Amino acid sequence: MMDQERDLSREDITPEQEDEDTQAQTVADEALDGVDERSPLDSVKDDSGLEDVDAPDLIDRMKQMESSGNIDMAAFDGEETMDDLENRYGSRNAADEEFAGDDS
């Protein structure tokens, strides 16, 4: 009787039901297994010699801004400041000192 049951086709199980790989516990176990891997926030310097290894890269700058609490607004230098909250926070908190007095 057991042999006969093994020979039956498995039409009662569809591929949609074979989802063990996407179950939460499986995904969580896979995530915990990779904990000791490198973090995406680790700064990896290029050894090619084309760039200065000591120069801060994007990750270094992000970490520095996070630790200091100061956001580097250099990307917006020369742009008009259109912050409506300068009157509340004062013009010294303006993104660009050139436009700190324009009350924009």
88 three-class SS: helix
Q: How many domains does the chain have?
A: 1
Q: Which tens digit of pLDDT belongs to each residue from 81-100?
A: 666 665 566 666 555 666 65
- Give a yes or no: residue 8 inside a domain: no
Average of per-residue pLDDT across 48-70: 81
Query: Which residues form the domain of 89?
Result: 58-99
From CA 11, how far away is CA 13, in angstroms rounded? 5
- Give a yes or no: residue 23 inside a domain: no
What sign for the dihedral angle of Cα 10, 14, 15, 18?
A: negative
Q: What percent of the chain has pLDDT over 90?
A: 0
Quote the tokens at residue 92: 């010294």
Mean pLDDT of the chain: 71
